[in-house]
Amino acid sequence: MKVIVIGNGMVGHKFCEKLLARDKKQVFQITVFGEEAHRAYDRVHLTDYFSGKTAEDLSLVDQNWYVANKIDLYLDDPVVEIDKYNKKIISSKGRELSYDYLVLATGSAPFVPNVPGTDKHGVFVYRTIDDPELITSYAFRAKKAVVIGGGLLGLEATKALKDLDLETHVVEFAPRLMPRQLDESGAEFLKSKLEHMGIHVHLNKATSSVSGKEKVEALEFKDNSRLEVDMVVISAGIKPRDELAKDCGLRTGPRGGIIVNNKLQTNDPCIYAIGECALFEGMVYGLVAPGYEMADIVASQLTGTDKVFADFDMSTKLKLLGVDVASFGDALAIENECSTIVFEDRVWGIYKRLNVSTDGKYLLGGILVGDASAYNILLQTYKNGLPLPQNAEDVFMKSGAAGKMNAGSGIAALPDAALICSCEGVSKGAICCTVKDYGIEDLDGVKKITKAGTGCGGCVPMIKDIISETLKELGKKVKPAICEHFAYRRQELFDLVKVHGIKTFDEALDKFGNGAGCEVCKPVMASILASAWNDSILKQPAIQDTNDRYLANIQKGGTYSVVPRIPGGEITPDKLIVIGRIAKKYNLYTKITGAQRIDMFGAHVSELPLIWEELVAAGFESGHAYGKALRTVKSCVGSTWCRFGLHDSVSFAIRIEERYRGLRAPHKIKSAVSGCVRECAEAQSKDFGIIATEKGWNLFVGGNGGSKPQHAVLLASDIDEETCIRYIDRFLMFYIKTADPLTRTATWMNKMEGGITYLQNVIVNDSLGIGKQLEKEMQNLVDHYKCEWKEVVESPELRKHFNHFVNLPGEKDPNVQFEALRGQKKAVDWK
C-alpha cells in the first residue's frame, strides 16, 4: 500500500512516526513531499533560532531517520497537482507518483491582513525557519520594530524582537492581549508585565496601512494615529494551506480549511487532512497537540483501529518573555453560568482565575498569569472531572508549600486514563506501566520509552511525581542520587565516609563513585568531609565551591567581600576602628549586613591574605559568610541594658556562636537569641532560635527567612542554658548527618515524616538512643575548630593560591572596574 504525505512539518512528520509504529505487518510504503528545503523541524521553538540554534538543532530527527525507516523524502519539491480520479500526484520537479492513500499535512500560512503597504521592505511574517534569518539580518539596520498581532504567536515574535535589542511595540486589534486565552484582568496583568520589560503595548488598534517609500516608515491606524517604525512583523493569525485541495475539488470551508469528518477524511475517502490545514466542525486547530492527535487517528484508521477525533482540549501553558501564562478548559466562561474564584497579587504580578460549576463541585476552566505552577494539577482536575476539595482556593491559589503538598496527593487521585503529556498523548497509566513493567526509575528512561515530556516539556514535573509515587507504591525507595558520579544520597555518603574512614574526595570517588566529579558532588563531599572530621577545608581547595576555596564571597566583577566574625553582634570601638582603617586602606565598600556584622566589598583575590593578615592581628576571626556553615547568632541587647530584658541574651549568643563557629552543614545555619518575648532578635525566623522566659529559655527550630519565609517551631520550653546547648548539639548534628544537600533546616523538617513530633522524640526524648552519640560528635567538632584565615595568613604555601594570575603573582585583574556611589564604590553593572 502506498501512502503519500504532502507536507513535512511537525504534524506530517508525526504521522510518519505513528504509522511506522502502528504498521506492525509493514504493509505501507511511505513517500513524503516537503515544500521547504529543511527536514521537519520544531516550529514551536522557532524563537530559539534567534538565540543561536541552527536549523539542524531544531530538526526533529537526524538525517538518517527517513532512510533507516525506508521512507522516500523529497524536500524542496512541493506537490502541485492531485489527480484524485487516477489516484496520483505531480510534484513541482515533475515527479509523478500514484497512491492508495493521500495525507494532506500542508499546514498553514501566516494570515496577512488586506491593508496597503504590506509588500514594502521591512515587512515580515513569522512562520518558517527562513523568517527568523530574514528578520535578524534586517534588524541590524533597524531600531524600532512592531509586531501586528498580540496573540500567542505574536507575543513569541515580540520576544524575538526584544532579544534583538530593538525598541519593541506590539499592536493588537482586540481590546486585550491573547484574546482567545485570557480574560480582561488576566490580559491586563500580562500587559503590565510586558510594559515593565520595556515593551510598548497598543490595544484597540486596527492597522489601515503600512506607509513608507520603499521601506517601512510607519504604521497608520484607522483612528488616524500612527506609529513610526523601521520594521514590521505580521502575526495576525493563520490561514490554512488548502489551495491544492481546492484545485482538485476537495471541499473546503468558506474561510479556508479542508473539511474533514471525525476520521479526518475529506470528501474523497482515500484522502485525509491533518493539522492546521484541516477544518473539523468549523474549527481549525492551530496547536501542535491536536495536530499530533490527528496524525495518530489517521495512522490508526489506516491500520484498522477505529479511533476518531473529537473536540480537542485547547489548554495551553507557556512562558512568554519569562512570564508564565496558562489557560485551560472553559477559560472565558460567562460569570453567571459559573462561580469564579479570583486571586490577584499586584506586587508580584500574579493573576489566577478558576471557573467552578455553580454548585462549587467541579472545575470548568481557568486562567493563570505570572505563576502557573498549579497548571498541571488544575488541568487534570478539570479534564478528569475530579471533585474539588472544600478549600479549593487554599489549595490551588497559594503557590507555596501548602499548594504543593496537595498537588502531590492529587496525583494519586488521578485515574490511569488521565492524559499527562498531551503533546505525545501519554496517559498516567502508560507512565506507571514503564515504571512497573520495565523497571524504569528515572525521567530519562520514561522519556525514552513513552516519549512523554519530549514535546513542550510542561508535564515534566508531573511525570517526576508519578514516577516517585509509583516507586513508592511498589515499596521501592525513591533514591535520588546526588549526581552522575555518586549513586547515593547525601545521608548515605555521610555514613559511608564515616564507616570507611574516607578523608579525601579522591578516595571517595575511587571507592563509591565514578568519573571526575562535578560542581554538584564536590561541594557536597567537601561539606561531608568537613562535618565528619572537621578537617581543614584548606587541604582540598579544588573541591570547594569558589567561596570556600577563596574563603570569601565572590561578587559582581569577580572581586570578593570579607566578613569578619562579630559574635552576637557585639564589637568594641577599637575593633570598629580597625575595620574602618582596613576598609579605607584597601578602598573597600562597607555595609552593615542583615546579621549584625560588617561586610567589606571589592577586594581583589590577591588582597585577601593582606586584609586578613591585619584582621587576624587585630583579633578577628573568619565569619564563615562564604561557607555552608554557622553564620551569626544575632542578639538583642538583653538584660544588661534593656529594661524589659529577662536574661543576658548577648552573652548567651556569644557563647553559642563561639561554640558552633566553623561548623560545616548541608546549608548555611542562622541563629538568634532574644532576651524577652518581645523577640527583637527575630529568633523565630532562624534555623535555631532562643527566647528568654521567666524560667529559662525556649528553643525554637526550623525557621528561615529568604524566599519562602517560615516560622520556627517550639522544640523545648523553659530549659536552662546547659540543656539548651545539649539539644542544639543533637539537633544540629542530626541535621548535618541526615539532610539532603543545600537543604535548610526548615525544608528538612518539612520533609521529615512525623515532623516536629518525631524530631522532639529524637532530640528531647532520645527515642533513637543516639543523643549521647550526637553530643559526642558535636563536641569533637567543637574541639577541633581552627580559624581558616589564621591558617592561610601563616602559611606561605597557602597564600600562593590567592593570586589572579598564576604567572604574575600580585597583579590584579585589569578587567575589574568600579564606579563611585554615595562616597564609596560599587561594581560596574554586568550586561
Partner 1 sequence: MNYSITEDIQWYRACMITDVPENGGVCVKYKDEQIALFHFARRGEWYASQNLCPHRRQMTISRGMIGSQGGEPKVACPLHKKTFSLIDGRCLSDEEGCGIKTYPVKVIDQYVYIGIVDDKDSSQAICA
Size of the site for partner 1 (CB under 8 A): 41
Q: Which of 405, 808, 810, 821 binds partner 1 (CB under 8 A)?
A: 808
Contact between 68 and partner 1 (CB under 8 A)? no
Contact between 801 and partner 1 (CB under 8 A)? yes
Which CB, 215 or 448, lies closer to partner 1? 448
Q: Which of 113, 389, 445, 558 binds partner 1 (CB under 8 A)?
A: 558
Q: C-alpha angle 390/396/400, rounded to 5°?
A: 120
Q: Which stretch binds partner 1 (CB under 8 A): 7-15, 305-313, 419-427, 511-519?
A: 511-519
Q: Which stretch binds partner 1 (CB under 8 A): 145-153, 529-537, 542-550, 722-730?
A: 542-550
Contact between 650 and partner 1 (CB under 8 A)? no
Contact between 115 and partner 1 (CB under 8 A)? no
Q: Which stretch binds partner 1 (CB under 8 A): 208-216, 555-563, 578-586, 629-637?
A: 555-563
Strand, coil or helix: 495 = helix
Q: Please name the amino acid found at residue 478.
A: V
CB of 491 to partner 1, least distance (A): 22
Alpha helices in 177-229 (DSSP H): 184-196
Q: Which of 43, 53, 180, 436 binds partner 1 (CB under 8 A)?
A: 53
The DSSP-derived string for 282-316 is TB---SHHHHHHHHHHHHHHHTT-----------E
Contact between 805 and partner 1 (CB under 8 A)? yes
Q: Which of 330, 506, 679, 682 binds partner 1 (CB under 8 A)?
A: 506
116 CB-near residues (< 8 Å, 6+ apart): 209, 210
CB of 90 to partner 1, least distance (A): 41
Which CB, 45 or 751, lies closer to partner 1? 45
801 CB-near residues (< 8 Å, 6+ apart): 541, 549
Strand, coil or helix: 207 = strand
Contact between 515 and partner 1 (CB under 8 A)? yes
For the chain, helix, strand, coil in percent to 5 are 35, 20, 40
CB of 164 to partner 1, least distance (A): 14
Beta strands 350-356 and 316-320 are unpaired
Phi and psi dihedrals of 530, rounded to 5? -65, -40
All three cell numbers of 701, joined, read 527550630
Binding to partner 1 (CB under 8 A) within 320-379 occurs at none
Q: Which stretch binds partner 1 (CB under 8 A): 440-448, 492-500, 547-555, 613-621?
A: 547-555
Q: Which stretch binds partner 1 (CB under 8 A): 62-70, 219-227, 243-251, 544-552?
A: 544-552
Q: What is the C-alpha to C-alpha distance for residues 422 and 411, in angstroms, rounded to an integer?
A: 16
Q: Which of 1, 51, 408, 474 binds partner 1 (CB under 8 A)?
A: 51
Q: Which of 62, 184, 337, 811 binds partner 1 (CB under 8 A)?
A: 811
All three cell numbers of 304, joined, read 484498522
CB of 136 to partner 1, least distance (A): 15
Contact between 707 and partner 1 (CB under 8 A)? no
Which CB, 340 or 546, lies closer to partner 1? 546
CB of 813 to partner 1, least distance (A): 5
Q: What is the C-alpha to C-alpha distance for residues 723 and 223, in angstroms, rounded to an integer?
A: 78
Which CB, 132 or 557, lies closer to partner 1? 557
| Inter-CA distances, 5 with 100, 103, 129, 263, 502, Å | 11, 5, 21, 16, 62
Contact between 537 and partner 1 (CB under 8 A)? no
Q: C-alpha angle 664/665/667, rounded to 5°?
A: 125
Q: Which of 92, 136, 209, 546 binds partner 1 (CB under 8 A)?
A: 546
Contact between 815 and partner 1 (CB under 8 A)? yes
How would you label 736-750 residue by residue, b for 16+ Cβ within 10 Å and e otherwise? bbbbbbebbbbbbbb
Supply the Cα-derived Rg of the chain in whole angstroms. 33
CB 146 within 8 A of CB 229: yes
Q: Which of 141, 143, 556, 776 binds partner 1 (CB under 8 A)?
A: 556
Contact between 626 and partner 1 (CB under 8 A)? no
CB of 831 to partner 1, least distance (A): 6
Q: What is the C-alpha to C-alpha distance for residues 599 and 618, in angstroms, rounded to an integer?
A: 17
Residue ranges with strand state E in 656-712: 669-674, 688-692, 697-701
Q: How far is CA 179 from the centre of its chain?
A: 26
Q: Which of 517, 518, 189, 509 is nearest to 325 (CA)?
A: 189
Contact between 133 and partner 1 (CB under 8 A)? no
Contact between 543 and partner 1 (CB under 8 A)? yes
Using a 10 angstrom Cβ sphere, with 0-12 exposed, 13-18 middle and 19 or more buried, the burial of residue 785 is middle
Interface contacts to partner 1, rule CB under 8 A: 48, 51-53, 57, 484-485, 506, 509, 515-519, 521-523, 541-543, 545-547, 549-550, 554, 556-558, 801, 804-808, 811, 813, 815-816, 830-831
